[in-house]
Amino acid sequence: METIRTIAWMKEKAREARQEQRVIGFVPTMGALHSGHMALVERARKECSPVYASIFLNPAQFGPNEDLSKYPRPLEADLEKLTAAKVDGLFLPDAAEIYPLGFSTYVHVEGLSERLEGKARPGHFRGVATVVLKLLEIVQPHYAYFGRKDAQQVRIIRQMVRDLNSDVEIVVCPIVREPDGLALSSRNTYLGVDERKAATVLYRALQAAAKEIAAGVRDTLDLQRTLHKVLESEPRARVDYAEIVDAETFEPMVRVGRCCYALLAVYIGKTRLIDNMLIQPAGDELSMEL
């Protein structure tokens, strides 16, 4: 696997691949790679050649009171995983390469960026959209792969790509979970032993809502009450939000019918975790994807 540290060299590699009419796949990450990231790489390798990944811990998406300095950086282990997965190249720029002196242009997707995660983390999605657009312009992939766990982020990236006529297809892959249901996240490493056990309450809350939907419940207030009841049964959990929203607008819904998400953001101790369930029509019924 080739490690590429400059924008100029990454662009040259992308130009070569496109001139050879090869299909470029791209998996952007912030490092601390887990099986969820590697599932994205595996999907990309099935559909593309070459496949590039990036590791860039983006300072623009962290607020002043967030965990940038504490974010895990196991670079050697990440390199081993990507090499074993036969990734063709890793784009590994430093912050000065992406945000050089005098940088002053940012991307803001209006509306979608203001609710839920955007409200809880002001400026977060501006940082995400800016760095993702820069990475897409640098790597020039045909397909870029993201996980559904960050559902609002993926929706914002799709909107940005559509609005700015970017020549890339955003591929959204299923959530990867531990055997007990906890969605994989780099932040799971922050959890102590008891907190790790408590964190399964997010999955249990979504399961409870899915059971009610399967039984015919459609009122979103009833479903949200169920989410809160399960979450609040765990003493170590503190709910930031638990909402049912339209999958396109991320606005609240009155009744479940069209495609939507059950979205959770919950503090377990000091660690903030997110999770979701996709709810979509399947004939006359609804299907739930955890």
Q: What pLDDT score does 99 carry?
A: 98
In a shared domain, residues 200 and 265: yes
Predicted local distance difference test score (pLDDT) of residue 255: 96
Residue 287: the pLDDT is 96
Q: What is the pLDDT of residue 46?
A: 98
Based on the fold, state whether residues 27 and 75 are members of the same structural domain: yes
Residues in CB range of 3: below 8 A, 6 or more apart: 79, 89, 90, 92
Question: Which parts of the chain register pLDDT below 70?
Answer: none
Same domain as 196, residue 66? no
165 and 196 co-located in one domain = no
Clarify whether residues 45 and 152 are in a common domain.
yes
Residue type, 13: K
Measure Cα distances from 89 to 17, 20, 146, 215, 220 in Å.
Answer: 12, 17, 18, 48, 45
**Domain final residue pick, 173, 195, 215:** 173
208: CATH:
3.30.1300.10
Q: Are residues 159 and 244 in the same domain?
A: no
Provide the CATH number for the domain around residue 27: 3.40.50.620
Same domain, 36 and 133: yes
- Stated pTM of the model: 0.96
Q: Which of 37, 108, 124, 228 is catalytic?
A: 37
User: In this structure, what token pair is assigned to residue 269?
Assistant: 């101790």
Q: Do both 166 and 192 map to the same domain?
A: no
Total count of domains within the chain: 2
CA distance 28 to 82: 12
**Residue 66 structural domain:** 2-173
Same domain, 212 and 131: no
Question: Is 37 designated active site?
Answer: yes
Residue 285 lies in a domain: no
